[in-house]
Amino acid sequence: MAFLGLFRAVKREFGEARLAQVLDRASDTTRLMSSERIRHFRWYPYAGFSGFLDCVESTFGQGDGSLSRELGKEAAARDLEDHLDKLAEASPEDLIKASAMVWDGYYRNAGYMHAISWAPEETVLRISEFSEMTPNHCKLMEGWMIAAMDAIGIIVHDDARERECMSRGGRWHEFWCRWSPKDAAPT
């Protein structure tokens, strides 16, 4: 599902010709994955997904992961659009605690996501046992998580970030933020 969403977003944002430019630069794995119709419920190799994301970032971005972060925000808004009425029934804390189920729906053989803490002043989501996760994918996940929290009625403070990363020698990928309900002013 993650590959299909990313592929569609790039096609919509940059157009068919620019998408072809990315695919020309992509790895054989990515080109093979995109040579057929990409299916919603089919699993694809992580190397193809991450390679595509890296090519998109290097072709259209500034090289700092900011485009990947924006693509993550767009993906969350699109992914959650049909579920907003159901999400409104649960508390933000309960939805954060359920993050492991979301991860499993997008990625297979890609470690585990755990909610470590979910309090407004200290929310931590951790992805463990996934050393292959690339820096651009980490940025995509930062954006996705921020936009997902926005969709469930939370304002994430500007200092949200990945504060530990396996690609930088960390034990896991750890995403941290502080948040406030939308009806409260940020502190």
Closest Cα to residue 139, out of 167, 105, 107? 167
The pLDDT-based confidence of 187 (bands split at 50, 70, 90) is low
Judged against a pLDDT cut of 60, whether residue 9 lies above it is answered with yes
The CATH number of 69-74+84-181 is 3.30.1380.20
Average pLDDT over residues 5-17: 85
What count of other Cβ atoms lies within 10 Å of the Cβ of residue 43? 11
Domain spans, the chain: 2-60, 69-74+84-181
Closest Cα to residue 75, out of 19, 159, 10, 162? 10
First to last CA, the chain: 36
Average pLDDT over residues 10-23: 88
pLDDT at 48: 87
